[in-house]
Amino acid sequence: MPLISPSRRLRRTPFSDGVEAAGVKAYTVYNHMLLPTVFRSVEEDYHHLKEAVQVWDVAVERQVELRGPDAARLMQMLTPRDLRGMEAGRCFYVPIVDETGGMLNDPVAVKLAEDRWWISIADSDLLYWVKGIANGYRLDVLVDEPDVSPLAVQGPKSDELMARVFGDAVRDVKFFRFGWFEFQGRPLVVARSGYSKQGGFEIYVEGSDIGMPLWHALMEAGKDLDVHAGCPNGIERVEGGLLSYGNDMNDDNTPHECGLGRFCNTQTAIGCMGRDALLRVAKEGPIQQVRAIEIAGDKVPGCDRVWPVMAGEKRVGQVTSAAWSPDFRTNVAIGMVRMTHWDDRTAVQVVTPDGSRDAVVYENFWA
């Protein structure tokens, strides 16, 4: 592969110096920013993530901040998930849809206070959609991208590492909740969340100046835990069925097609964009849906375009992410499959770049 030319448009993060000193081998671009994808090798990183603890530069999870009296109203306009029962101190995974019910993003909403929210976005320019709605409806709310960069600590030893840096109280933070914890006298949001199924935390680092000091503190405190720089792992996240916006879905898909119907309460999410369209699809049900797909044979190549899912001569879907799983000793994949073939254990074929392979559709992911 050719290199990518650095420039100001391709933003570095507060942790990029640490990432590069740790020997990052490849980057991708996400929200116009550098996101590491490989340190030692994707497979070595995978095993290490499941055994030890890693520190991830996920500053690309940019925040869209809503501040002001209409912040909560605006947040509910953005998502079909009912936010009425959501208290400050909680994080919600929320589909964001356009006026047709198409997915614009699948962020984590962080409720700091009734009048202050962070939307921790996936890879699409959500800021402009949110500003458009805030201004078009003349809402009393400020919308901007603050200097907040998430740093994730993931893996089975993440509780121990976090307790050493932030104190034992961090162990009591529950899944998808956050607390305020001090680092160098600065209060930071620390949530139990992250883009892996191995457990861990996300530190919302407010102020780029403390990025590298915090990075070093975690690396120093975790030496005997075998802490290493890591990143969202392309194998582990497919095993766990964690969706990637732009890969596994885009604005052509409804949340129901993405398997995110459980995060929609379209009946009661009054005022949300695309509500009428979603009420229709919720009633009729989707005709295709995200599924786990096992692809037979040796390690598949990287999936940088869709691979058709076939039932004989008939196209019944597409694979959008795939990887060889060392633990399950098979190729794991995520795809969109039509209703006629989405039942558990349906046999299909997948057209990979090096030929057609036998495959099986599953209703549940591996992890």
Closest separation between CB of residue 334 and ligand THG, Å? 12
Region 261-320 residues binding ligand THG, contact defined as CB under 6 A: none
Region 75-104 residues binding ligand THG, contact defined as CB under 6 A: 93
Stretch that binds ligand THG, among 69-77, 135-143, 193-201, 355-363 (CB under 6 A): 193-201
Phi and psi at 91, nearest 5°, equal: -115, 135
Nearer to ligand THG, 30 or 342 (CB): 30
Phi and psi at 31, nearest 5°, equal: 50, 45
Nearer to ligand THG, 251 or 351 (CB): 251
Closest separation between CB of residue 122 and ligand THG, Å? 4
- The reply to whether 239 sits near ligand THG by the rule CB under 6 A is no
Closest separation between CB of residue 58 and ligand THG, Å? 7
DSSP-derived secondary structure letter, 192: B
Token pair recorded at residue 143: 């919308």
Closest separation between CB of residue 221 and ligand THG, Å? 22
- The reply to whether 176 sits near ligand THG by the rule CB under 6 A is yes
Stretch that binds ligand THG, among 73-81, 190-198, 266-274, 337-345 (CB under 6 A): 190-198
The contact mask relative to ligand THG for 197-216 (x = CB under 6 A, - = no) is -----x--------------
Lookup result for tokens 């597409």: 318
What sign has the CA pseudo-torsion 31, 36, 41, 45?
negative
Nearer to ligand THG, 231 or 309 (CB): 231
**Residue of 36, 95, 102, 150 interacting with ligand THG (CB under 6 A):** 150
Torsion of CA 28, 47, 160, 24, to 10 degrees: -30
Which residue, among 328, 301, 157, 173, has the nearest Cα to 230 in the 3D structure?
Answer: 157
- Quote the Cα angle for 105-107-110, to 5°: 145
Token pair recorded at residue 108: 């984590």
Closest separation between CB of residue 264 and ligand THG, Å? 13
Which residue, among 155, 193, 160, 153, has the nearest Cα to 46 in the 3D structure?
Answer: 155
The contact mask relative to ligand THG for 109-148 (x = CB under 6 A, - = no) is -----------xxx--------------------------
Token pair recorded at residue 85: 């029962």
Token pair recorded at residue 83: 């936010």
Could you tell me how far CA 126 lies from the centroid of its own chain?
A: 14
- How far apart CA 49 and CA 51 sit, in angstroms, is 6
Write out the residues near ligand THG by the rule CB under 6 A. Answer: 61, 93, 106-108, 120-122, 150, 176, 193-195, 202, 242-243
